[in-house]
Every structure is written in C-alpha cells, then in structure tokens.
Amino acid sequence: MSWRWSAPRGRGDQRRYSRWQIARVARVRELVGEGLTLAGARRVLAPEDRVSLLEAGLDAARAEAARLRTELAAARAGQSRSLTMERNGDDR
C-alpha cells in the first residue's frame, strides 16, 4: 500500500486529489485522532480495504446471480410456452 500520491495539477498549479484520496486522508486523521500511530492506521486500513474489495465482489456476484435467475426464468417460460404449443398442435 502506497502512502505517497502524486496528484495532477490544475489551474494555478494546485494539486487535484481524487475523492478516494481525500476520504483516505480523512480516515487516517480519524484513526490518528483516536490515538493510533500512522503504522497503526496502516494496519487498520489494510483489512478495511480487503473487506471493501470483498463486499464489491459480493455485490457483483449477487447482481450476476439475479441476472442469471431472470434469464433462466425467461428461458423456462419460453420452453413452457413452446411445449404447450406443441401439445396443442400449434406449429408457429
């Protein structure tokens, strides 16, 4: 994990940090304010980052499962309709 960031410069030669970088610094300040050292903050942030990644992966997996359930239901409905039409002699 890198603690040094280079930010692009905007007008007036001011650095432009991302929202993530600003939130990260705010979290570090919070942890240091609670009495942790920077090394301690790093040890807290590492598992927090891992949890965030795992939660994002879980959200993506849930979305994919929902998509597949919808696709399966549509396929089953189409198959059921097709079987019903075959039984009724409808050859569309």
| pLDDT tens profile 12-50 | 777 888 899 999 999 999 999 999 999 999 999 999 999
pLDDT for 81: 67
According to the model, what pLDDT value does residue 25 have? 94
Residue 15's pLDDT is: 81
Q: What is the CA radius of gyration of the chain?
A: 26
Domain boundaries, the chain: 17-87
d(CA 92, CA 84): 12
Judge whether residue 65 has pLDDT over 60.
yes
In which band, very low, low, confident or very high, does the pLDDT at 8 lie, cut at 50, 70 and 90? Answer: confident
50 neighbors 33 (Cβ within 8 angstroms): no
pLDDT at res. 82: 65
